Structure 1
Amino acid sequence: MDTPKSSKLEIIIPAFRGHSQNLMMVLDGISEEHALKRIEGRTNHIVWMVGNFLDMRYAMGTVLGLKEEFEFKDFFFQGKALDESLKYPTLQELKESFHKISPLVYKRLLETTDEELDKDFPMGMNIEFFPENVLNFIGMCIGREDYLSGQIGLMRRILNYEGMKYDFDENMKY
């Protein structure tokens, strides 16, 4: 396992890599048609969920100083609500974006110092027990990724796909 400069990220690093693996595994075999399907008009579709996952990756990158911009930001920025009138990017396009941003964010996570993590990062939450800093923002993003992977897993089953297989790709280093 890679060792981060900051011991504060010792839990985040394996979670980040695990989420990368989980996303690829949970999407395995999902068709483009099914990726846009909503259940009874009440759920977000898988494309929206993946786009929101990517919005988290790009947000982490931004807060860590990366300049990459999410090419599909207008669809997903800050959990923007699903809009059925829009033509969303394909699942394949989102996977390509995932493989572009994830190694860059991973590298920055490994390089980030305690000082960078301790910097104020106002989120407007105003919760006494939750310091609004870079570290806690990254933690929130990781939590959101976990939630979205679970939602996609549930959608897999609702759409009659097999449950996710845990076939980890040892060559994916992010």
Structure 2
Amino acid sequence: MKLKPTSGRMYGLVVLYEMQTDFLLKALDGIDQKDAQKRLDTKANHVAWITGSMVQGRYFLAKLFGIDLPSVTDELFAHNKGIIDDAVYPPLAAFIKDWEEISPKLQEALIRATDEKLEEKLSMPGMKITLFEMISFNTYRDANCIGQIALWRRLLGYPGMNYS
């Protein structure tokens, strides 16, 4: 971590954020585009959808900090839309491009977030939470999604995820 977060509450989350920024790229390494949309005769979310949902999550958080940039995920993932059967999702390279664009900008916002900003109330369908709680949830979800992609790697016949 280059800078110490303004809010002490953010230190651990920023460390995880940095790790997960790299881990997603490692999880996706070498996955062929044709495999990224395979569901192996299940209703499970495929690698492309999982990746896109992570990208969309970071763009959503960035908007809460006033960083409003377009993303390849804007339509297929709007309003937390679930996987769409038979939809053709963007290539992993497009998701990776957006991931690499938004991640440093959002990280800077997370580092600079004040306790006052973190206590902003958000109204989500069916719940009211603070920005800090949303960041915490998104951090947890990113780890979960990376684990799913790591499992998909093995199910699709790829070597396990390399953490080095």
State the distance in 2 between where 1:125 and 1:7 align: 29
Give the TM-score, by structure 1 length.
Answer: 0.88
Residue in 2 that maps onto 1:137:
134
Q: Which moved more, 1:153-162 or 1:70-79?
A: 70-79
* Identity percentage of aligned residues: 28
| Count of aligned pairs between the two proteins | 163
Task: Kindly report the root-mean-square deviation, in angstroms, between the aligned alpha carbons of the 2 structures.
Answer: 1.4
Cα deviation, 1:125-166, whole Å, max 9, x if unaligned, reads: 44xxxx711100111111111111111011001001111111
Which residues of structure 2 form unaligned runs of 5+? none
Residue in 1 that maps onto 2:32:
31
Aligned partner (choices 135, 146, 155) of residue 158 of structure 1? 155
Q: Which moved more, 1:100-109 or 1:84-93?
A: 84-93
State the distance in 2 between where 1:86 and 1:165 align: 30
Amino acid across the alignment from 2:112 = E
State the distance in 2 between where 1:44 and 1:75 align: 14
Preserved CA contact (<8 Å) 1:56 1:144: no
Alignment of 1:4-153 (within 5 A): 4-126=5-127, 132-153=129-150
Give the TM-score, by structure 2 length.
Answer: 0.93
> Where does structure 1 differ by over 4 angstroms across 4 or more consecutive aligned residues?
none
Which residues of structure 1 form unaligned runs of 5+? 168-174
State the distance in 2 between where 1:6 and 1:90 align: 37
Cα deviation, 1:23-68, whole Å, max 9, x if unaligned, reads: 0111111111111111213211101000000111111101122111
